[in-house]
Amino acid sequence: MEDRENLQRLDDLVAKLLNGYKDLQEENKKLSNDLHASQLEVAQLEEKVSGLLQEKNHVHEKVAGILDAVEHWENAANDKQDDIAQPSSDEVGQKEIESSSQLFSMES
């Protein structure tokens, strides 16, 4: 009788171990699937980040070009204002001649 009880206990223990092993296999399979899904998501996010970095660099280049154009435009405008505000030496000499000739002119 004792042998039967030992065999029954052994049978129960083996069944319990096999059920535990089966549960662990299912959990392992689920975790493997989750890992694979996570790896796919990471790859997609890395691709998205790469695209966003390229877009950022493109925008940066566009903004830098616009700023250069504005700076060039401002410099050109300042150069023209300097030319208007400070007449050339030829213009100054011509105005001096005109004003001195008016001093000695007989016309009023």
pLDDT of 102 above 60: no
In a domain, 38, yes or no: yes
pLDDT of 103 above 50: no
Tally the domains of the chain.
1
In a domain, 37, yes or no: yes
For range 90-94, the mean pLDDT:
59
pLDDT of 108 above 60: no
- Residues 40-74 have pLDDT tens digits of 999 999 999 999 999 999 999 999 999 999 999 99
DSSP label at residue 88: -
Say how far residue 73 (Cα) sits from the centre of its chain.
28
Residue in the block written with tokens 């007449």? 87
Q: Give every CB contact of residue 79 below 8 A, 6+ residues apart in sequence.
A: none
Q: Report the C-alpha gap between 79 and 73 in whole angstroms.
A: 10
In a domain, 78, yes or no: yes
- Rounded to a whole number of angstroms, the CA Rg of the chain reads 46
Question: Can you give the pLDDT at residue 60?
Answer: 97
pLDDT of 19 above 70: yes
Residue in the block written with tokens 């000499």? 93
pTM: 0.51
In a domain, 55, yes or no: yes
Give the residue numbers spanning the domain of 31. Answer: 2-103
